[in-house]
Amino acid sequence: MIVLLALAAGSLVLAYQTRQHLQVLEQDLVRRQQDSHEQATEARTLAREAQDVSRDASAKVALLEARLSEVAVQRTQLEELMQSLSRSREENLLGDVEASLRVALQQVTITGSAEPLVAALRSADERLQRANQPRLEGVRRAIARDLERVSAAGLVDVSGLVIRIDEAVRLIDELPLLSNPAEAVPQAGAAEAQPAAPAPASSADWWRQAGQRAWAEVRSLIRVTRVDRPEAMLVAPEQAFFLRENLKLRLLNARLALLGRQFDTVQADLDAAGQTLERYFDGQSRRVGTVRELLGQVAAQARQTAVPRPDDTFAALAAVSAAR
């Protein structure tokens, strides 16, 4: 009976341990299944976003190609018309000036920059000046007025803004994270590097200075930081690299959009980059403040500006043509 009871007790213990092990395995399987489901959901979301971005890019490319083809067709039509008609030197000059201005307007519509129109107006003024015709002085005055209005509209300094974005990208690797307390070390080292105090004149002064040094050492062991967003403190060291790379990619995307003069995309990317800086990086750092200032300058200047039409020049050209 004793042996049977011992065997029964051992069987119960083994059965209990086996049940506990099975419960642990079941919980592990459930957790892994949940993780797999979350990863699959995230992958589907990213794939859907990638499809939307690809669709938008394809639509923009198709629109640009259609506009470019329209410009090419119109340029061909203008060239054939100019070659087929026999005009005088003055008529050919006026027609060429008007055609170049219209082509420049189409380029302004496509690129969003006033530089083609400014170049066309200056070229037209130079050609009219070489013609030296009194009847064309009214056209030159109209060109001067239009050139002044177009220049006063303000051009976006794309090259300068691109340089600011490149500087911000260069500083990303040097920005301190909220989850990295290493930025407080130089301050402690600077405190230790201060020159030693003069020797105390009495034992009371010595004990007071010793107490101050001990209190300074105790204060340096504790760091109190206010964290408005707890997720910023949960960034692991191996995740910091990917966080910085994602921020760089966001700024490089803004750089490409700026070169393509897609100012809405630039503003969206800069806004997302600013939120990342505010959420994960130490706002008290001087480097973070520098990057914020650079991005703020780019966001303030990267705006779509309406380029005025050279209506005075077109009216002067029409008046000269009607007078003949």
Cβ pair 257, 265 in contact under 8 A:
yes
pLDDT tier at 173, thresholds 50, 70, 90: confident
Q: Burial code of 177-198, b = ≥16 C-beta within 10 A, e = fewer? A: bbbeeeeeeeeeeeeeeeeeee
Task: State the pLDDT confidence band at 13, using cuts at 50, 70 and 90.
Answer: confident
Please report, for the chain, the start and end positions of each structural domain, with discontinuous segments joined by +: 56-155+306-323, 156-185+228-304
At 75, the pLDDT band (50, 70, 90 cuts) reads confident
pLDDT of residue 194: 47
Q: How confident is the model at residue 191 (pLDDT cuts 50, 70, 90)?
A: very low
Q: Express as a percent the part of the chain with pLDDT over 70.
A: 78
Q: For 7-16, what is the mean pLDDT?
A: 84
How far is the C-alpha of 36 from the C-alpha of 56, rounded, in Å? 30
Lowest mean pLDDT among 57-71, 93-107, 203-217, 265-279: 203-217
Q: What is the pLDDT of residue 17?
A: 85
Does residue 45 carry a pLDDT above 70?
yes
In the numeric block, which tokens belong to residue 102? 């219209």
The confidence score (pLDDT) of residue 193 equals 41
Residues in the chain: 324
Is 69 a residue whose pLDDT tops 80? yes
For residue 114, give the nearest of 127, 123, 105, 102 by alpha carbon. 105
